[in-house]
Structure 1
C-alpha cells in the first residue's frame, strides 16, 4: 500500500464526531462573564473534514448525530463547508450531540465539553458497512471514536474495510481523558489502533500515554514507524515536531503567532498536512504547511470557522517571517 499515493487522491472518508461549539464574545471574555455566545461547527473529525474542504480537498463524514435541532445544525454546517453527509445517520431517544463551550483566550482558558449520552458513540458496524470505501482514497479518524461502544468496534471494522480496499488509514491519537472509562482502557485501545494505522499523528503526551510515560513517547513513535506505520508525526507544541518516515527523521519548528486560544490546532494541522501532500508538496513542506494552518487557527476565534482556506494559507506563508528552528520557544 502506497500511503502517499492514497493521500494524493485528496478524497477522504473521515470517521468521528460533529458537534456544536459555543464561545463567548468578544474574545477574551470568560464564560462566567458572557453575555453573548457565538455558535459554530465543532468536533475533531468534523473540523478535519471541514479544513480539508476549505483547502480544496474532498471529505465525507461518517457519524451519528442527534435527531433534533442541534443534530440538524451540525449536518447543515457540514454541508456549508462542502463536507459530504451521505453517511451521517440520525439517532433518536436521549442521545445528544456533543457540545463544547470554550474561550477565546490563552491565559485562564477554560474548555467545558459535554459528552454524556453522546450521539456519535452510537455509530454502529452497520453504519460503517454502508460506506463505499472504493469511492475514497484514504480514511481518517481521531481517537475519541474509540472511547465507547458501539463506535469503537465500528471504527475498527472501518479500518479493516479500508485496508481490504488498499486505502491507507490515518490516525490522530487525540486522547481526551473525559471520554474514556479508564486510562488503562484508553492506553490499550489507542495502542491497538495505532498498530494498524499507516499514518499516526499525536503529541508528546499522547505517545507518552501509550508508552506508559512521557519519557518513552518519542521511542514509541519511532518504534511504530519502524514496525507498522509509514509516517509518524510526533508533535511537541512550541518545540516543533519530529516526523518519522522510512529511514528519515524530519525535525521542524513552528510559525509563532499571537495565539487567541489553544483549541483547534491539531485538527487544522491534519487538514493542512494531508492536503499539502495531496497537492504534491514534499513531506517536509507538508508538515510546515500543516503547522502554518495550526498557527492560523489558534490566532482566530472558533475552530472550523478559523481554519485556513487556500488563499489564507498562501498569504500567511508569504507574509510570515518564517518558522522557528526545532527545539526553540
Structure 2
C-alpha cells in the first residue's frame, strides 16, 4: 500500500546567510529539494511521514543537520551515514532582495546518495509522492543517476507519484548536452513537472512557457506547471496553456527559495485534492509568503497562513 508519505531526494547544504564583510553569519540548512520538502512538511498533515533522502557525513555539522530535520518532523529514511564525509556549504549575498550564491560542495556526502541501490530503494518504498530535481541529477555520477532513475521507475510502478523540477544549473553540468540527456531520462519517470521557464529557455531555446509545457507533454509528462518568476505560471490543462497570475509582493525581502516553496505548495495542494489551477493559486500565495522573510525556509506558521 502506498501510504508512507512524501520523500524528497537531493542535497541539503549548510547555508551561511545574513553576513557582510567583517560581520557575523547565520548558519542554516537549505537546498532546492529540501526547501520544497520544508514547505511540504509545513502544509501536509503532521501524521503524514516526510523524509529527506540523501547521504550524510558523520561530522558534527551533519549530526546537527539531521537533528534539525527531526526537530521539524522530517526523517532521513534509509539514507546512509558515510564515515569521514561532510555536507556541502554555500553562502548567500544579497543586493536588495536579489541573491547570489557561493558554493563549496565538490566533495559533499550527498553526491553518494545513490551508491547503495538497496538503501535508496528502501527509502522510496511505498511513498505517496517522491520529489527530485535536476540538481539531484547533476551532483551524481552517471552510474548514480542510473541507479536513482531505476529506483524511481520501480517506485512509480508500485504506485508512487513522481514530481520533478529540472532546475538547470549550468555550473553543475559538464555540458548542456549532458544536462539535456539526463533530464530527458528523468522525464520518462515523471508524473508532475515543475520547471522554471528561464532555465528551460536557456537549455532548450524555447520562446514561451507554453512552448516548454508542450515539449514536456510530448515527452509524456501528464501534469505540468511552468513557473516564470513574477510572470504568470503556465499550466497545460486539457492540452491548452492556462495562465495563473502570481501573488504580488510590493516589497520583497528575499527571493531565496521562492520557486521551491511554490513547488511545495503546489504538491501539498494536489495531495489535498485540489485541481491544478487551484493548486497553483495556493502555491503562489505560499511563494509570496516566503519572499517576505529572510532565508529559504520561512517559518511553518507563515507558510500555513498563506496556504489556507
TM-score of the two chains, using structure 2 as the length reference = 0.88
Secondary structure at 2:247's aligned position in 1?
A: coil
Report the counterpart of residue 189 of structure 2 in structure 1.
196
Structure 2, unmatched stretches of 5+, are none
| Count of residues in Structure 1 that have an aligned counterpart in Structure 2 | 299
Report the counterpart of residue 256 of structure 1 in structure 2.
248
TM-score of the two chains, using structure 1 as the length reference = 0.83
88, 98, 103: which one aligns with 1:113: 103
- Whether the aligned pair in 2 keeps the contact of 1:225 and 1:246 (CA below 8 Å) is no
Secondary structure at 1:287's aligned position in 2?
A: helix
Secondary structure at 2:252's aligned position in 1?
A: coil
1:75-94 pair list within 5 angstroms: 75-93=66-84
Q: Indicate whether 1:144 and 2:135 are aligned.
A: yes
TM-aligned CA deviation for residue 109 of structure 1: 3.4
TM-aligned CA deviation for residue 296 of structure 1: 1.1
- Whether the aligned pair in 2 keeps the contact of 1:52 and 1:272 (CA below 8 Å) is yes
Secondary structure at 2:99's aligned position in 1?
A: coil
Report the counterpart of residue 242 of structure 1 in structure 2.
234
- Whether the aligned pair in 2 keeps the contact of 1:14 and 1:49 (CA below 8 Å) is yes
Q: Take 2:42 and 2:219, find their aligned partners in 1: how far apart are those partners?
A: 34
Report the counterpart of residue 215 of structure 1 in structure 2.
207
- Whether the aligned pair in 2 keeps the contact of 1:202 and 1:235 (CA below 8 Å) is yes
43, 58, 65: which one aligns with 1:67: 58
Q: Take 1:43 and 1:54, find their aligned partners in 2: how far apart are those partners?
A: 16
Q: Take 1:184 and 1:200, find their aligned partners in 2: how far apart are those partners?
A: 20
Report the counterpart of residue 165 of structure 1 in structure 2.
158
Secondary structure at 1:86's aligned position in 2?
A: coil
Q: Indicate whether 1:303 and 2:288 are aligned.
A: no
TM-aligned CA deviation for residue 169 of structure 1: 1.2
Q: Take 1:140 and 1:66, find their aligned partners in 2: how far apart are those partners?
A: 22
- Whether the aligned pair in 1 keeps the contact of 2:197 and 2:212 (CA below 8 Å) is no
- Whether the aligned pair in 2 keeps the contact of 1:252 and 1:288 (CA below 8 Å) is yes
Q: Take 1:158 and 1:243, find their aligned partners in 2: how far apart are those partners?
A: 28
Q: Deviations over 1:46-89 (max 9, x none)?
A: 22222111112432111101221121122111112211222232
Counterparts in 2 of 1:39 and 1:172: CA distance versus 1, 3 Å: same
TM-aligned CA deviation for residue 223 of structure 1: 2.7
Instruction: Indicate the RMSD between aligned Cα atoms, in angstroms.
Output: 2.3
Q: Indicate whether 1:21 and 2:15 are aligned.
A: yes
- Whether the aligned pair in 1 keeps the contact of 2:223 and 2:236 (CA below 8 Å) is yes
Report the counterpart of residue 326 of structure 1 in structure 2.
none
TM-aligned CA deviation for residue 279 of structure 1: 2.0
Q: Take 1:52 and 1:108, find their aligned partners in 2: how far apart are those partners?
A: 24
- Whether the aligned pair in 1 keeps the contact of 2:225 and 2:233 (CA below 8 Å) is yes
- Whether the aligned pair in 2 keeps the contact of 1:41 and 1:78 (CA below 8 Å) is no
